[in-house]
Amino acid sequence: MIETATLGGGCFWCLEAVFLELRGIEKVVSGYAGGHTSNPTYQAVCSETTGHAEVVQIAFDTTQISFRDILNVFFTIHDPTTLNRQGNDIGESYRSIVLYHTPEQLETTKTVITEFSSIYDQPIVTQVKPLEQFFSAESYHQNYYARNPNQGYCIGVVAPKVAKARKHFTQMLRK
């Protein structure tokens, strides 16, 4: 069965690159959600006037990977304790957010946050709210890391997150 998850944890290029490597992930689309305007552009989201976060929408096969597994990866590869920030990416658009699609996803998210709370020294500030609307990002943002592995941001920020995921979730990688 195919389900959908929508997550934001800083720059969407990082999340997309990691999740595309996992078994059971059918599709990852970078985009925007959690804001108050329709059809936002990258420039508008970066201007911090739309309320949107950079997110990825993940289609996954529940017979191969669970929503809980996806959240375990998510909470491992980004810092859910920094408000409106991931590393040098600062602003509401870089916030940690889970936009749930079902009541079951909400309950699983609450459980996983409770479990991860004992791992971090600071409180988890991940926003949890229902998905209202998802907007796909511009085409040049899709599959960005695979197309631009030698770009500076990809080398310095995306690649270390991919390496961390490969190290911690070896059993979940595509063969």
Residues recognised as catalytic: 11
Which amino acid makes up residue 65?
I
What values do phi and psi take at 145, rounded to 5?
-65, -45
What values do phi and psi take at 17, rounded to 5?
-60, -40
Give the C-alpha separation, 28 to 42, whole Å: 18
| 83 neighbors 111 (Cβ within 8 angstroms) | no
CA 31 to chain centre: 10
